[in-house]
Structure 1
Amino acid sequence: MFGLIGHLTSLEHAQAVAKELGYPEYADQGLDFWCSAPPQIVDTIKVTSITGQVIEGRYVESCFLPEMLANRRIKAAIRKILNAMAHAQKYGINITALGGFSSIIFEEFKLHESKQVRNIKLEFDRFTTGNTHTAYILCRQVEQASQKLGIELSKATVAVCGATGDIGSAVCRWLDARTDVAELLLIARNQERLQALQDELGRGKIMGLEEALPQADIVVWVASMPKGIEIDFSVLKEPCLLIDGGYPKNMGNQIQHPGVYVLNGGIVEHSLDIDWKIMQIVNMQVPGRQLFACFAESMLLEFEKWYTNFSWGRNQITVENMDKIGQISVKHGFRPLLSF
């Protein structure tokens, strides 16, 4: 059995979903309540591969909300993720994906050092961040969507915003090794990590965001966007492909310029309907078939019975593992979202 640990995008979203799912006691509560709310299994899932194989899974709502980080409720955020992991393990789930902020919190706050949650000793090989599959899907979106728009990669400049993160660095490695992209622009806050990435790749220009945007034919956005930041997207080229790999997806609402095409990054479509209701809650366009690539990774690992933390630790994703997860992604009927 596979598992998915997720969370909602805001307090307002959480209240609305709680009401919809039949948890009226959660629906009118404020942030303090959500800080203390326990994890819940709120969906049972059945997925059929194009090979005919059928697997079952569970969706674990962690009750984490992004406002916990914004309001310095760090201890509450950490507790949410650890409790959700313990809950998944308690129910015998073989491999569980840490979705959204779950993997970020796990890595940023070194939760691998927290091996005991009450009476449960966490077995970390039961969990995966899903970042390898996400990075693979983002790269395939770059390749396939650029072709749709007539952007030749051999002549294109690709800016990766969040280049030193786990997913961003993997995207850079793939674009360098598996494509003939003309130029890579590396954008991130940590200059030391940027220099290390540039040294590893042997190429790429380190730039600030304002300098990079007007030069880019393709922008892969995998960085968090701090509240209050203002970006002038009117400087983008036409045509320009912008792949929004963040969560929640909000670039499409901010960018309304002709010739700028915004694609929801890190999203896959399955060839067959998935029996679940959770994707309706996160407003997927086709909730029966579309999902986050990180969630799909745990499904793929369950299909193949690879019960291991396939994606784990910061900047450990290799091009070879992206190839490996990509092959079984195709095998079981997943494909990158390409609708603008």
Structure 2
Amino acid sequence: MQGIKQPAAAGKESRKFAFLVHLRSYREDLKHIARPLGWLPDQFYHYTLGKRPLRPFLWSNVAIGADGDEASGSIIMVPYSGRQLLERPRQMLPIVQDAVDLAVSKGATMIGLGGLISPVTLGGKLVAGRATYGVTNGNAFTAVTIFRRLQRLLDEFGGFRPTIAVVGATGSVGSLLCKMLAAQERDARYLLVARNARKLDSFCHEVSRQYTSVSMSTSVRMDDVRHADIVVLVTSDAGSLLNPSHLRENCIVLDATQPRNASRLITTLRSDIQLIDGGLVSVPSLRTNKIGRLGLPSGISFACMAETMLLSLSGHNADFSIGNPGLEHAEAIGQMARKHDHLGFKTAEDHTFGKPQMVRLPEMVC
């Protein structure tokens, strides 16, 4: 695979991985350790714990295979919220490095970065480049998984030409997703949304120059997604919250952000909107305890964690998705998923906020 460093073949004894996560909510996550911890408001934890350094710790053990013998690893908790990570990146980086060191001490040779740990480390650049372990931000398989679900939606749309908005288009997931969509040259219009206008225009020009038949426009305003039939959320900007007022009638939303950038009000106030959790993968062979599911049903994984597991299963112990992954990374991780499809690694059935959901197409395209 051109452009991707190929490590020496690894035996099963070296197929150990770790996945770094942060708290989505103090209340929701800590109650799984002890129920009374869920009785206190998040503000209490932010005030009392935010002023003192907390060390990462083992959250859960993980194994893959019918007997858990294909690969094994651990989930390491960075005990801060996503908001704290983004607001204090300099203070958080040494703690993330501590989490990496803890993972290595447990034998991990492939380390995945979950949630907002990736942007805090510049897509993994600040913790990569080591000889003893590989790092991945998991964003190649996340983009592949979203792309596959979008392909199914476009097939179901038939002759209708939808407008697809990608919010976070210049980010690690969004940039790869846009390139994959453009390369397919489907009959669709694309609205690329990001905060940095100069970077966004440059990226759009780059993609449009390579794929001249693709219709692409740009915006720095979340309000403009109301022109879209499908909205894909792949931004790490905690301030880019998608509200019911942003969406046109019968819109379909794929939210692949963690923490969520789609407001729960969408499901309560807009019965016409279909909200799908993007970037979820079915891995029936995944073995872990309840807290190791990270708020998902049994046998379901976030694609970023699944990428970490696939690399470990494939004996790939070098850096993989660092910064913005390219089409070659999408092809490589797709091949790994096909090779290990006896263990799962297929796009999951649709969920909404972690719960199974039957998605119906809008009347205009049925």
Do both share a fold (TM > 0.5)? yes
Match status 1:19 vs 2:31: no
Q: Which residue of 2 aligns with 1:63?
A: 79
More helix by share: 1
Identity, % of aligned pairs? Answer: 26
2:124 and 2:339 map into 1 onto residues whose CA distance is 35
Match status 1:80 vs 2:80: no
1:244–1:327 distance in 2 versus 1, CA, 3 Å: same
Q: Which of 310, 315, 318 is the matching residue for 1:300? A: 310
Shift of 1:205: 0.5
Q: Which of 170, 190, 193 is the matching residue for 2:196? A: 190
Alignment coverage as a number of residue pairs = 319
TM-score, scaled to structure 2: 0.77
Q: Secondary structure at the match of 1:17?
A: coil
Q: Which residue of 2 aligns with 1:180?
A: 186
Shift of 1:242: 0.7
Q: Which residue of 1 aligns with 2:335?
A: 327
1:76 and 1:153 map into 2 onto residues whose CA distance is 52
CA contact (8 A) 2:167 2:174 kept: yes
1:103–1:231 distance in 2 versus 1, CA, 3 Å: closer
Q: Which residue of 1 aligns with 2:53?
A: 36
1:243–1:192 distance in 2 versus 1, CA, 3 Å: same
CA contact (8 A) 2:19 2:305 kept: yes
Shift of 1:69: 4.1
Q: Which residues in structure 2 correspond to 1:100-111 (within 5 Å)?
A: 100-107=115-122, 111=126
Shift of 1:65: 1.9
Q: Deviations over 1:61-115 (max 9, x none)?
A: 1223224247x443332222111011112222110101111111100796249x8
Q: Which residue of 2 aligns with 1:259?
A: 272
Q: Which residue of 2 aligns with 1:54?
A: 70
Stretch of structure 1 that moved more, 292-301 or 32-41: 32-41
Q: Which residues in structure 2 correspond to 1:1-340 (within 5 Å)?
A: 1-19=16-34, 31-33=47-49, 35-48=52-65, 54-69=70-85, 72-107=87-122, 111-112=126-127, 122-123=130-131, 125-147=133-155, 150-152=156-158, 155-202=161-208, 204-210=216-222, 212-227=224-239, 233-234=244-245, 236-249=247-260, 251=262, 253-256=264-267, 257-270=270-283, 272-277=284-289, 282-284=294-296, 286=297, 288-313=298-323, 315=324, 317-332=325-340, 333-339=344-350, 340=357
Q: Secondary structure at the match of 2:346?
A: strand
CA contact (8 A) 2:279 2:302 kept: yes
Q: Secondary structure at the match of 1:5?
A: strand
Shift of 1:136: 0.7
1:249–1:279 distance in 2 versus 1, CA, 3 Å: farther
1:64–1:278 distance in 2 versus 1, CA, 3 Å: farther
1:331 and 1:153 map into 2 onto residues whose CA distance is 34
Return the letter of the residue paired with 2:74.
R
1:318–1:109 distance in 2 versus 1, CA, 3 Å: closer
CA contact (8 A) 2:141 2:304 kept: yes
1:320 and 1:336 map into 2 onto residues whose CA distance is 20
Q: Which runs of 5 or more structure 2 residues have no equivalent in the other structure?
A: 1-15, 209-213, 351-356, 358-366
Q: Secondary structure at the match of 2:157?
A: coil
Q: Secondary structure at the match of 1:219?
A: strand
Q: Which runs of 5 or more structure 1 residues have no equivalent in the other structure?
A: 116-121
2:320 and 2:157 map into 1 onto residues whose CA distance is 33
1:218–1:49 distance in 2 versus 1, CA, 3 Å: farther
CA contact (8 A) 2:139 2:321 kept: yes
1:73–1:32 distance in 2 versus 1, CA, 3 Å: farther
Tell me the C-alpha RMSD between the 2 structures. Answer: 3.1
Return the letter of the residue paired with 2:312.
E
